[in-house]
Structure 1
């Protein structure tokens, strides 16, 4: 059983076929950002949480991420960014902000990024906090630099965390076009360059109280991180499924020589199904267990790396072409392993 197959799966399939598949090579080689696809997902109701429990909308949205990742993990990553931002707004106790932003975010009228890579590492003891906040009348002035925030554009928003002092951090939701915020696009990565990633420099950016998600960011991160992490797992599962399919398509090449490779598709398929079952079990209880989600996220990262490497070996020289699907998925998998929380970050959380 796959994550949470949605009632509009035929609509999703059509959107992927019409609005994503034709652009995959352009996304990978020319840093094209599939904004229209993301907006149309919202228009089609794929982000709606109305009359649904957290479990229901989480599983349904994770399915959308997985199906997107099968075709293009760069765009699935952008989708994860938007869903992470949605989580911030869904969970906030700032009703004014929620009432203003949530409907537009769920309909895809406004797209958003996450901005929490550095804070997640800060709370794990890996980095210092890059943004600082100074209290002023009606809000805060924020200064500092976030090196990489994805799924951004001139009319997008994103979440971020800034330190007020050693004991207090705030979490806020800011628009990209706010005064004092400078953005520089980054397209020099090994892959995932169509993810609308920017370095964000804050120069006394005024953040009014109405944009504050939480006055206690450390506590708030504890609340949002189970969903934040859950939405990442299907990124790897989608790439894994696509890699297994690519292996199965070439099993008869060169007189069936691939049968002598040690890693066969049946073994990978079994491991992927076991990961799906573990994932399902995480959402059967009343509350989400962060450590168990982290464990499945880590196992999925290793499985994805295993699957893409097997696909490269099975595809042989055809996979070694620069813009081939197997080589793209190889680069996607290495990105997934380094997406916050990274493999080493997760190893520290679980085994440190």
Structure 2
């Protein structure tokens, strides 16, 4: 997908700085690079200013970036997920005014839909409240976690519920009065991903900022793309880590590691085939959504396993903090908790199985 070696090197060169959040390092470097290359428009219809193509192209691009730097891959996913919401909306104003800015990375797109995805899965209630008037929507509440919140230059997609039970998806610009971004959260890795809290107190916006006035339907519609694009994160790390392990095999460790390495290599090939199969689907059936959840779980567990195997293969030198292996250990630890987390995915799959047994 991404063949430009110079671009690949640029992501690799700042991977450590972005993961550790060193002074002067921020996700904007990666977003600008992605925008200049046109990769933020992959899978977006040309009629909306994108580059066309399929969702599979997006997954492979996110994987290629994540091979070099998961922080860059993650903010790529955040930006592209926000773009997906706008592209899937019926709101022409957002598509004409905000989508071009997101495609050019002139503003960062944040997805504050963690709570909403849990709500869709029946795990928790919506945290944010909305009041709809004739011309405005007023929002209140608190989000404990959102990423890609470029200071003063972001728009975040959130879901909120009215007192009557109606739920909305709204894009909230950083300039909105009553919106407060907290300090960057202190994370194990991905420190430069602009991850923070958001407080909304009487945030009043015109209806032009409403992405969808039927959140349940809209979220169910975009969730497959939301999850499938996340698969690129684990796919990239698994590919890179397997390659690093292969290069570290020698006469002294081959017998101890080769069977595990072969197993992971075969597993990766099988999961890649599923990614390619689902990456060309336009409308997901319930069975395909379940397959997608299982795929996301399997890829994440494979990524975790491959990095641990890489550590075994490289030995003590890989345990030094500046090493690429140590960085990948911190990066991959994020994937099980990325919403929907492995626990949330497993819980929803179990719920579906229970419903089938009752039926």
TM-score when normalising by structure 2: 0.89
- 1:269 and 2:260 matched: no
Q: Deviations over 1:277-335 (max 9, x none)?
A: 01111134452332221121111111111111111211221121123211221222221
- 1:303 and 2:302 matched: yes
CA distance 1:94–1:334, shift in 2 (3 Å): same
Q: Deviations over 1:213-247 (max 9, x none)?
A: 01111111011111111110010010011111111
- Asked if the contact 2:54/2:279 (under 8 Å) is kept, the reply is no
CA distance 1:291–1:93, shift in 2 (3 Å): same
Q: Deviations over 1:254-288 (max 9, x none)?
A: x5225313753222121111111011111344523
Q: Structure 2: how far apart are the matches of 1:314 and 1:187?
A: 33
- Asked if the contact 2:56/2:280 (under 8 Å) is kept, the reply is no
* DSSP 3-state at the match of 2:130: strand
* DSSP 3-state at the match of 1:207: strand
Which of 187, 190, 201 is equivalent to 2:188?
190
Q: Deviations over 1:165-213 (max 9, x none)?
A: 3621110011122211111123322112111101000111112100000
- 1:17 and 2:13 matched: no
- Asked if the contact 1:185/1:196 (under 8 Å) is kept, the reply is no
Structure 1 window deviating more from structure 2 (341-350 vs 327-336): it is 327-336
* DSSP 3-state at the match of 2:167: strand
* DSSP 3-state at the match of 2:40: coil
Q: Structure 2: how far apart are the matches of 1:325 and 1:166?
A: 52
Structure 1's unaligned 5+ residue stretches are none
1:38 alignment partner in structure 2: 31
In the TM superposition, what are the counterparts of 1:39-78 in structure 2 within 5 Å?
39-48=32-41, 49-51=44-46, 56-78=53-75
- CA RMSD between the two structures: 2.0
1:167 alignment partner in structure 2: 165
2:238 alignment partner in structure 1: 240
Structure 2's unaligned 5+ residue stretches are 352-359
